[in-house]
Amino acid sequence: MGVIVGHILLIAAQVNTRRGVPLLEEFTFGTFAEIQRAATSAIAAVRDNWVNYVALQDVRAENARLKEEVAALRIGLQQERALAQQSRVLQDLLDLKSAVTLSTVAASVIAGGASPEFRTITIDKGTDGGVFADMAVLAPSGVVGRVVMPTSRASKVQLLIDRDAAAGAIVERSRAQGVVVGTGTDRFRLDHVPGAADIQVGDRVVTSGIEGIYPKGFLIGQIESIERQSGEFTGVVVRPAVEFSALETVLVVLTPTASEAQ
Amino acid sequence: MKAAGVLIAVALALALQTTLARLVVGGSAAIDLVLVAVVAVALTTGPVSGMLAGSVAGLIQDSLSTGVLGIGGLSKSVIGFLAGAISQQFILTSALPRFVMFVGATLAHAALFMGLNVALGLRTFPSPWKAVASQALGNAVVGMIAFAIMEALPGVIERRRAGRRPRG
Write out pLDDT tens, residues A53-68.
766 767 777 887 888 7
- pLDDT for res B152: 80
Distance CA B147, CA B165 (A): 29
How far apart, in Å, are the Cα atoms of A235 and each of A180, A189, A245? 12, 7, 24
From-to residues of CATH 2.40.10.340 in chain A? 103-262
| Contact present, B6 and B57 (Cβ < 8 Å) | no
What's the rounded mean pLDDT across residues A100-111?
81
CB atoms within 10 A of CB A46: 9
- pLDDT for res A188: 92
> In chain A, what residues touch B70 (CB-CB under 8 Å)?
13
Taking an 8 Å cut-off on Cβ atoms, the answer to whether B131 and A159 are in contact is: no
Q: If you write DSSP's letter for every residue of chain B in order, what string do you get?
A: -HHHHHHHHHHHHHHIIIIIHHHHHGGG----HHHHHHHHHHHHH-HHHHHHHHHHHHHHHHHHSSS-TTHHHHHHHHHHHHHHHHHHHS---SHHHHHHHHHHHHHHHHHHHHHHHHHTTS---SS-HHHHHHHHHHHHHHHHHHHHHHHHHHHHHHHHHHHHSPP-
Three-state helix/strand/coil letters over chain A: CHHHHHHHHHHHHHCECCCCCEHHHHHHHHHHHHHHHHHHHHHHHHHHHHHHHHCCCCHHHHHHHHHHHHHHHHHHHHHHHHHHHHHHHHHHHHCCCCCCCCCEEEEEEEECCCCCCCCEEEECCCHHHCCCCCCEEEECCEEEEEEEEECCCCEEEEECCCCCCEEEEEECCCCCEEEEEECCCCCEEEECCCCCCCCCCCCEEEECCCCCCCCCCCEEEEEEEEEEECCEEEEEEEEECCCHHHCCEEEEECCCCHHHHC
Split at pLDDT 50, 70, 90, the class of A240 is: very high
| Contact present, B12 and B123 (Cβ < 8 Å) | no
Distance CA A200, CA A27 (A): 47
* Chain B interface disruption, residue of A35, A117, A183, most B CBs within 10 A: A117
Taking an 8 Å cut-off on Cβ atoms, the answer to whether A161 and B31 are in contact is: no
Query: Nearest-CA distance from A71 to chain B in Å?
Result: 33
Query: Nearest-CA distance from A83 to chain B in Å?
Result: 37
Nearest chain B alpha carbon to A148: B66
pLDDT tens column, B33-78: 999 999 999 998 889 989 989 998 998 888 888 878 888 889 999 9
Return per-residue pLDDT of chain B as tens, 168 residues.
Answer: 577 888 888 888 888 888 766 655 444 557 889 999 999 999 988 899 899 899 989 988 888 888 788 888 899 999 999 999 999 888 878 889 999 999 999 999 999 999 988 888 888 887 788 888 988 999 999 999 988 888 887 766 667 767 766 654
HSE-CB at A238 with a 13 A cutoff on CA atoms is: 32
Split at pLDDT 50, 70, 90, the class of A204 is: very high
- pLDDT for res B102: 95
* Chain B interface disruption, residue of A115, A189, A191, most B CBs within 10 A: A115
Taking an 8 Å cut-off on Cβ atoms, the answer to whether A244 and B27 are in contact is: yes
Distance CA B48, CA B100 (A): 21
- Assign domain A103-262 to its CATH architecture: Beta Barrel (2.40)
- pLDDT for res A1: 60
Query: Nearest-CA distance from A158 to chain B in Å?
Result: 8
Question: Which of A36, A149, A164 minimises the CB distance to B18?
Answer: A36
- pLDDT for res A5: 66
Higher pLDDT, A155 or A6: A155
Taking an 8 Å cut-off on Cβ atoms, the answer to whether B131 and A184 are in contact is: yes
Mind listing the domains of chain B with CATH numbers? 2-164 (1.10.1760)
* Chain A interface disruption, residue of B25, B28, B112, B118, most A CBs within 10 A: B28
- pLDDT for res B144: 92
> In chain A, what residues touch B19 (CB-CB under 8 Å)?
36, 39-40, 43, 111-112
Distance CA A183, CA B103 (A): 23
- pLDDT for res A92: 55
> In chain B, what residues touch A111 (CB-CB under 8 Å)?
18-19, 22
Question: Is residue A185 over pLDDT 70?
Answer: yes
- pLDDT for res A97: 40
> In chain A, what residues touch B26 (CB-CB under 8 Å)?
112, 243-247
pLDDT tens column, A21-42: 777 777 778 887 888 788 888 8
The dihedral of CA B106, B108, B112, B117: what is its sign? positive
